[in-house]
Each structure stands twice: as C-alpha cells, then as structure tokens.
C-alpha cells in the first residue's frame, strides 16, 4: 500500500497534507505497505527565555510524533460501517530512533491473528482507542492496536518511521453513521490491552473526532 502523502505537521499529530493520488484499497487487499512516504517535519520549537526572576521555559516535544493519516478530523470515513485507520510514528531524533528500533519490536509484518485488547505484535507500544468500541468487545478503553493488520518501517533523513494500518473488517462493528473519537499514542515497552489512565505516553496524543460512513 503506497503511502503517497506529503505531511507537514507541527508535532501535534494533526495533518497538514498534500495528497498525491489516492489510497488504494487494492493495495491493502494485496496486503502491502511500501513505506515510501514523503514526510516533512517542521523545525523543533525554540526555547523561550524570560528576563528577571522568571526561569527559562522550554517547550520540549516528545521524541516521537504520531500522525493520523486517516481519518482526518471531522471526516466522514468509509462507507457501510467499514473504514480505515492509518497511523505514522515518526522519530524526531536519536531517542526516537531507539524507541522505534527493531530491538524494541518495531518491524514490518502482517498480523495473522488480530485481536482487540492486545498489543500490535509489530508496533508493541501503540495504543489506539475508539469511543464507540462496544462493551462486548471491551468498551472504549480496549486497546485496538492488536487488530491492525499491516505494519511497515522506513527511514527518512536518518529518522525512523513506522506505519500501522487497520481496515475494519466487520461492517458496523463500531457504528454506522456514528460519530466516534479516535485516540492514539505510543508508550514505552508493551502497551496494555486495556487502558487504565496510568499510561505515560512517549509521543504526542492524537484525538480526532470523525463520522463512520453509512
């Protein structure tokens, strides 16, 4: 599946993108990720120093930026209750590279046994929540990273990139014509199956509200 998006973001996970071509469902059906994304990161936030008795204040961004490629905020995503979630994890520095390394479990792969409430075997620190996850499937605190089917890795200008892709396989499982909120972030080590609120993100936290297409 080609990642033919150019993303210009500011470390907050929100897209400012120019799309070239379309996302091919044929590519996903062929179970392919290529990782040939062109991703442009803006410069790091400068430090702001105050005079007098005020201390120097530094706004430090995390070493990893998480970007929701799809869906976008306020999108109507998919049709018939079937939609796609496509995430990019982007290292910003050497610390991010270490976190997203193969030694920490980040590698290309196709999940053969996707399951709700489990970590992604190829992106183990990923946490993904949907507010409309039914209680029978674990409810809105169930980690959905374990149902992501495809993971790919790449490198751009010496910085690691990980792409994770999920095509909802059961129409209407999370609603049809329903507004839902996607929450996604990365934790160190292996993500929990159920989020308790005690997690410590090592990336920005993406929150996007969109409508599942009917």
- pLDDT score of 26: 32
In a domain, 208, yes or no: yes
- pLDDT score of 59: 54
Q: Name the stretches of the chain with pLDDT < 70.
A: 1-59
Place of tokens 């160190």: 188
Tokens, residue 198: 């005690």
pLDDT 10s digits, 99-147: 999 999 999 999 998 899 999 999 999 999 999 999 999 999 999 999 9
- pLDDT score of 16: 39
In a domain, 191, yes or no: yes
Place of tokens 């990161």: 41
- pLDDT score of 12: 52
3-state helix, strand, coil in the chain (%, to 5): 10, 35, 55
In a domain, 13, yes or no: no
CB 9 within 8 A of CB 16: yes
Whole-prediction pTM value? 0.76
The CATH number assigned to the domain holding 207 equals 2.60.40
DSSP 8-state assignment for residue 72: P
In a domain, 26, yes or no: no
In a domain, 31, yes or no: no
In a domain, 17, yes or no: no
How many secondary structure helices (H) and strands (E) does the chain include?
Answer: 2, 12
In a domain, 122, yes or no: yes
- pLDDT score of 169: 85
- pLDDT score of 61: 87
Structural domain of 191: 62-212
- Provide the domain count of the chain: 1
């Amino acid at each position: 599946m080609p990642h033919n998006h150019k993303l210009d973001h500011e470390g907050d996970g929100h897209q400012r993108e120019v799309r070239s071509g379309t996302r091919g469902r044929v590519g996903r059906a062929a179970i392919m990720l290529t990782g040939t994304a062109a991703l442009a990161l803006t410069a790091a936030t400068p430090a702001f120093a105050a005079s007098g008795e005020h201390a120097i204040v530094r706004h430090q961004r995390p070493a990893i930026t998480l970007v929701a490629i799809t869906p976008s905020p306020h999108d109507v995503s998919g049709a018939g209750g079937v939609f796609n979630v496509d995430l990019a994890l982007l290292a910003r520095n050497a610390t991010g590279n270490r976190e997203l390394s193969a030694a920490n479990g980040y590698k290309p792969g196709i999940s053969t046994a996707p399951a709700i409430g489990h970590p992604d075997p190829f992106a183990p620190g990923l946490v993904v929540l949907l507010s409309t996850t039914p209680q029978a499937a674990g409810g809105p605190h169930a980690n959905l990273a374990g149902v992501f089917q495809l993971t790919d890795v790449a490198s751009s200008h010496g910085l690691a990139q990980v792409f994770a892709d999920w095509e909802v396989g059961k129409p209407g499982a999370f609603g049809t014509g329903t507004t839902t909120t996607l929450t996604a972030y990365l934790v160190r080590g292996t993500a929990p199956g159920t989020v308790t609120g005690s997690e410590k993100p090592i990336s920005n936290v993406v929150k996007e509200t969109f409508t599942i297409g009917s």
